[in-house]
Amino acid sequence: MQPISFAAMQDHITRKERDISKLFSPIKLRDVTVRNRLFVSPMCQYSAEDGCPTNWHLVHLGSRASGGAGLVMTEAAAVSPEGRISPWDAGIWNDDQADAFRPITDFIRSEGATPAIQLAHAGRKASASQPWTGSKLLSEDEGGWQSVGPSDLPFSEDLSIPRPLTTDEIGELVVSWKSAAERSLVAGFDVIELHFAHGYLAHEFLSPISNSRDDEYGGTLENRARFPLEIARAVRDVWPDHLPLFVRISATEYVEGGWDIDDAVTFCGRLKDAGVDLIDASSGGNSPAQTLTPFTGYQVPFAAAIREQAKIATGAVGMITEAQQAEDILESGQADAIFMGRELLRNPYWPLYAAAELGDKVDYWPVQYQRAAVYPHG
Ligand SMILES: Cc1cc2nc3c(=O)[nH]c(=O)nc-3n(C[C@H](O)[C@H](O)[C@H](O)COP(=O)(O)O)c2cc1C
């Protein structure tokens, strides 16, 4: 099964001909048809036990599926124990964790949504407490561990100096990502997203501000991209041909001399060649010196640039909170899907309201809630 070509996705059908908004029209990625283009953005809940998702995750992710999202993505799930941001992160480095995800993927699917998992390694930003206790560095006595990274460059004074990975360890980590992908299939996921953004391990390798290696994994863009591309190829190798693979990147890091949108476009072209189907275009997170004041839709131009220049499907994310705003981003061809984070934390039923607002009579109000259903006027 060949992936659907990017060109074939460029429909130029108007709203009138389609009789439904672009936001609520299905999207086909390889053999997976997602019921609409509103995707739940990955969001850490810091509520896992030994890497296993809990009842909290079932209710949290399940509510967003009942709420009408097309695709429901888990939080960053670590591919190895030291790849967690905090001891309370979800993981998928063992079979117990895969088993614990199974009821969650079953429920998401039973609600008509597509279950997706984000695979991650926190690198030098690991071993921290939960945000509500200050995201502080945890000592080994407090349940923390030695972080690793491309080089011995810390993210900030508040986090530890990472231990540089040896080339053998880099090879072992590629296997960890691959095994995590195999377990994701057993756990019932239809989509994998590789977390290569926000200053975590893969991003740390990509960026010249966190990678000062002088071996084949550092220096030129080609060398800095080697480890992330090895991960992408290894995962694609075991992830079935009929299932889509996404990558989240930071399209820029807002630091003079750092990773920028031109690097990102080049890298996304390589990811496409490695069999990646969609780029989830985020930004920042690799330096406390980043200069950014987020504003409505601030990352949309990155999704548009990558889509246009690397010719790969993209997802737009970041302060997208209005139905018409989301629709305009899709209709103008800046992105193929919308990832939504905090607005869906505020209101898991946002997609059902958005459909009504856009004049779409979607048929997936939960039957149990039909007496409360809100449909378009007229
Ligand atoms: C509570 C919380 C946890 C998050 N955890 C993750 C994560 O696990 N992986 C990730 O790539 N981004 C994570 N993010 C970033 C979101 O996925 C999203 O990109 C960001 O919140 C911007 O989108 P929004 O303005 O719609 O919230 C998190 C954001 C929040 C608010």
Which residue's alpha carbon is nearest to atom 21 within ligand 1?
Answer: 341
- Please identify which residue in the block is written with the tokens 């999207």: 27
- How large is the average pLDDT for residues 333-347? 98
- How large is the average pLDDT for residues 202-215? 98
Selected from 3.20.20.70, 3.40.50.300, 3.40.50.970, 3.60.21.10, the CATH number assigned to the domain covering 7-372 reads 3.20.20.70
> 262 with 212: CB under 8 angstroms?
no
Q: Residue 127's pLDDT band (boundaries 50, 70, 90)?
A: very high
Which residue's alpha carbon is nearest to atom 3 within ligand 1?
Answer: 43
Distance 341 CA to ligand 1 centre (A): 6
Q: Is 43 in the pocket of ligand 1 (CB under 6 A)?
A: yes
Pocket test for ligand 1, best of 39, 43, 119, 279 (most atoms within 8 A of CB): 43
Pocket test for ligand 1, best of 39, 40, 41 (most atoms within 8 A of CB): 41
Among 190, 30, 174, 37, which Cα is nearest to 117's? Answer: 190
- Output the CA–CA distances (angstroms, integers) from residue 308 to 266, 279, 336, in the order listed: 12, 12, 12
Assess whether pLDDT exceeds 60 at residue 3: no
Assess whether pLDDT exceeds 80 at residue 28: yes
- How large is the average pLDDT for residues 230-245? 98
Distance CA 74, CA 36 (A): 18
Assess whether pLDDT exceeds 70 at residue 11: no
- Output the CA–CA distances (angstroms, integers) from residue 291 to 265, 285, 288, 294, in the order listed: 21, 11, 9, 10
Distance CA 244, CA 190 (A): 7
What's the pLDDT score for residue 16? 72
- Output the CA–CA distances (angstroms, integers) from residue 234 to 31, 84, 271, in the order listed: 20, 21, 12
Q: Residue 1's pLDDT band (boundaries 50, 70, 90)?
A: very low
Angle at 205 between CA 201 and CA 209, to 5 degrees: 110
Q: Is 282 in the pocket of ligand 1 (CB under 6 A)?
A: yes
> 235 with 259: CB under 8 angstroms?
no
Q: Residue 151's pLDDT band (boundaries 50, 70, 90)?
A: very high
Which residue's alpha carbon is nearest to atom 13 within ligand 1?
Answer: 43
Assess whether pLDDT exceeds 90 at residue 12: no
Structure token digits, residue 25: 């029209």
Distance CA 228, CA 210 (A): 14
Helix (H, G, I), strand (E, B) or coil at 199: coil
Assess whether pLDDT exceeds 80 at residue 346: yes
Assess whether pLDDT exceeds 60 at residue 5: no
What's the pLDDT score for residue 227? 98
Q: Residue 2's pLDDT band (boundaries 50, 70, 90)?
A: very low
Among 29, 10, 13, which Cα is nearest to 21's? Answer: 13
What's the pLDDT score for residue 9? 59
Establish whether 200 is a catalytic residue. Answer: yes
What percent of the chain clears pLDDT 70, i.e. is strictly above it? 97
Distance CA 174, CA 5 (A): 27
Q: Is 326 in the pocket of ligand 1 (CB under 6 A)?
A: no
Which residue's alpha carbon is nearest to atom 23 within ligand 1?
Answer: 318
Distance CA 177, CA 302 (A): 26
The tens digit of pLDDT for each residue in 279-318 reads: 999 999 999 999 999 999 999 999 999 999 999 999 999 9
Q: Which helix (H) or strand (E) holds 248?
A: strand 245-250
- For the chain, give the mean pLDDT: 96
- How large is the average pLDDT for residues 336-345? 98
Assess whether pLDDT exceeds 50 at residue 178: yes
Q: Which helix (H) or strand (E) holds 272?
A: helix 261-273
